[in-house]
Amino acid sequence: MAREHSLSTPSGTITIAQAQPSDIDIVISILEEAGQWLLERGIYQWLPGSFSRDRIASSLGLGQVYLAKQGEEAIGTLTLQWSDKLMWGDVPDDAGYVHRLAIRRAFAGKGLGRMLLQWAEDTAASVGKHYLRLDCWTDNPALCQYYERADYICRGEVVFQGKQQVWKTTLYEKTCRRK
């Protein structure tokens, strides 16, 4: 459903394309790297080793996982779904949902996260969705501010009770602009 997208940047051409099931180790590696970086900053959002291989394999099998590449090097990933009842409940079928957006640290700070978000917004709009939604760990204020600077609007919080802890996530939404 989503198309491949290429963008020229000062550091080279970036291509966003659907990941294949054989890319699972690459996707997990990018997520683990991001999780380690967060942990080093005292943010326990994505603990290394916490990414479910089965869950990611399922998302890959459904065609929901994408890789950003510069040449042959995978430099980022995101998951784009068409529903998210766990976080958003029963809502109209009018949005795309972004999960597990991560950029390799060597490429961070170059606007690639925003580029992936824009691609997801354009992709959602191209299939008739009015919104792009995502959730963010509430205790990561820098990331919440990042999404707010990208014009995402806070739509509330969801609280989860785990076996040993309570955690909160903030829900964000942005209107997709049709081109």
CATH of the domain at 100: 3.40.630.30
Instruction: Give domain status of residue 70, yes or no.
Output: yes
Instruction: Give domain status of residue 152, yes or no.
Output: no
Would you give per-residue pLDDT tens digits along the chain (179 residues)? Answer: 455 666 666 567 899 999 999 999 999 999 999 999 999 988 888 887 889 999 999 999 999 999 999 999 999 999 999 999 999 999 999 999 999 999 999 999 999 999 999 999 999 999 999 999 999 999 899 999 999 999 999 999 999 877 777 789 999 999 998 76
Q: In whole angstroms, what separates CA 152 from the centre of its chain?
A: 14
Instruction: Give domain status of residue 162, yes or no.
Output: no
Please give the model's pTM, rounded to 2 decimal places.
Answer: 0.91
Domain count, the chain: 1
Instruction: Give domain status of residue 163, yes or no.
Output: no
Instruction: Give domain status of residue 143, yes or no.
Output: no
Query: What's the CA gap between 160 and 166, in Å, rounded?
Result: 6
> 3-class DSSP state for residue 66?
strand
* Sequence-ordered list of residues with C-beta below 8 angstroms from that of 149, at least 6 positions apart, any chain: none
- Count of residues for the chain? 179
3-state secondary structure 80-133: EECCCHHHHCCCCCCEEEEEEEEECHHHCCCCHHHHHHHHHHHHHHHCCCCEEE
Sign of CA dihedral 57, 58, 62, 63: negative
Q: Two tokens at 76?
A: 């980022």
